[in-house]
Amino acid sequence: MKRRVFVTGGAHGIGKGIVKAFARQGDEVVFCDLDPVLGAQTAAGTGARFCQLDVTDAVSLERCMRE
């Protein structure tokens, strides 16, 4: 069963590992992070979708989740 997964802080560290793990399983992954460079690299390497945003910005977070 293909899942839809949203990960915060997914451009590096544990978050990046989580993005990779779900993407390898064929899940649809969207992640957010503050770092545009690492975010783009992680997205390119995993096929996940990246949203650059600060999770404390409720408007940006909600917009990303709706898209």
Q: How many domains does the chain have?
A: 1
CATH of the domain at 10: 3.40.50.720
Q: Which of 57, 65, 51, 59 is nearest to 9 (CA)?
A: 51
Name the pTM for this structure. 0.91
Q: Would you write out the chain's pLDDT as a tens digit for each of its 67 residues?
A: 789 999 999 999 999 999 999 999 999 999 999 999 999 999 999 999 999 999 999 999 889 888 8
Predicted local confidence at residue 1, as pLDDT: 76
Domain coverage including residue 34: 4-66
Q: What's residue 52's pLDDT? A: 96
- Cα–Cα distance list, 19 to 11, 62, 67 (Å): 8, 19, 18
